């Protein structure tokens, strides 16, 4: 890809003996780009807001109302203090997913390192919130009420493993969906390009795979939007478990 070749030369490098460190990579550059783009869209859309909103202001307000409703459904009215973070999380993943649909671009969320960093950091944050609001009572989350004392060690072990696996489920779900779709598009486009190079007859026949690719692209856009929503909803569900620990 063009951007891959460009960014492969666009980094700071430090040599210590035989060790080489790259301080700026595709992942880092485009992550910063997504954040800057997100801030620009919000500030440019909401600065000097009007009673009759502009198109960009209406779009941001649509996102606002959508996330407010979702967070309220999952966390209740008291959970609205986490609304801003949920909104930023959703739009960050959404832009990262859709950015990968641009030809010759780079998909941040198709890398397991990025998605696992998100999943792990969110799981740690949820744990800190649980202890902050409930103290040691948060540990009751790992032992369902009314459980037999004899089975307590086994149940605690299962619940702890299930809790830790949330970081993996968040990261692998997003990574696998984005990577699989892009891999399929890569295979199909490579097949079409080879058909174009084999003669006029195969070039004519290649229009059928092009139609299939167009359908896959539309499907990928839908998956990109859906996965951002699923990631945000799962975060709210996991946060709800920690925020509303039963007494």
Q: Are 75 and 240 in contact (CB under 8 A)?
A: yes
pLDDT of 202:
60
For residue 121, what pLDDT band results from cuts at 50, 70 and 90?
very high
pLDDT of 9:
38
In whole angstroms, what is the distance from residue 232 CA to residue 106 CA?
22
**CA-based torsion, 63, 129, 233, 80: positive or negative:** negative
> Can you point out the beta strands (E) in the chain?
13-16, 19-22
pLDDT (average), residues 11-22: 45
Token pair of 223 as six digits: 């998956």
For residue 10, pLDDT beyond 50: no
For residue 143, pLDDT beyond 70: yes
Token pair of 16 as six digits: 């210590």
242 φ, ψ (degrees, to nearest 5)? -80, -35
Domains of the chain: total = 1
This model's pTM is above 0.85: no
Question: DSSP string covering 38-104, please?
Answer: HHHHHHHHHTT--SS--HHHHHHHHHHHHHHHHHHHHH-GGGGGGHHHHHHHHHHHHHHHHHTTSTT
Torsion angle, alpha carbons of 217, 122, 84, 139, to 10: 140
Of the candidate ranges 63-67, 75-79, 133-137, 235-239, the one whose mean pLDDT is the lowest: 75-79
Q: Are 244 and 179 in contact (CB under 8 A)?
A: no
Q: Are 203 and 72 in contact (CB under 8 A)?
A: no
In whole angstroms, what is the distance from residue 27 CA to residue 4 CA?
10
Q: Residue 13 is part of which domain span? A: 2-243
Question: DSSP string covering 109-152, please?
Answer: GGSHHHHHHHHHHHHHHHHHHHHHHHGGGGGGGGS-TT--GGGH
Please work out, in degrees rounded to the nearest 5, the angle formed at the alpha carbon of residue 160 by the alpha carbons of 158 and 161: 65
CB atoms within 10 A of CB 91: 20
């Amino acid at each position: 890809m063009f951007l891959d070749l460009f960014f492969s030369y666009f980094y700071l490098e430090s040599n210590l003996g035989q060790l080489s460190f790259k301080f700026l990579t595709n992942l880092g550059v485009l992550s910063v780009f997504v954040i800057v783009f997100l801030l620009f869209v919000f500030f440019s859309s909401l600065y000097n807001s009007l009673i009759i909103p502009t198109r960009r202001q209406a779009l941001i307000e649509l996102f606002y109302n959508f996330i407010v409703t979702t967070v309220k459904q999952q966390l209740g009215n008291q959970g609205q203090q986490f609304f801003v973070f949920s909104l930023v999380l959703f739009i960050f993943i959404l832009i990262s997913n859709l950015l990968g649909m641009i030809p010759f671009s780079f998909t941040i969320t198709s890398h397991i390192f990025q998605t696992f960093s998100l999943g792990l950091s969110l799981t740690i944050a949820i744990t800190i919130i649980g202890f902050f609001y409930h103290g040691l009572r948060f540990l009751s989350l790992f032992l369902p009420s009314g459980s037999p004392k004899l089975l307590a060690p086994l149940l605690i072990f299962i619940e702890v493993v299930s809790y830790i696996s949330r970081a993996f489920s968040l990261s692998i779900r997003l990574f696998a969906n984005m990577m699989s779709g892009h891999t399929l598009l890569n295979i199909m486009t490579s097949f079409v390009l080879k058909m174009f190079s084999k003669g006029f007859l195969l070039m004519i026949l290649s229009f059928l795979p092009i139609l299939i690719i167009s359908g896959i692209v539309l499907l990928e856009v839908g998956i990109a939007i859906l996965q951002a929503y699923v990631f945000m909803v799962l975060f709210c569900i996991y946060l709800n478990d920690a925020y509303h620990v039963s007494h």
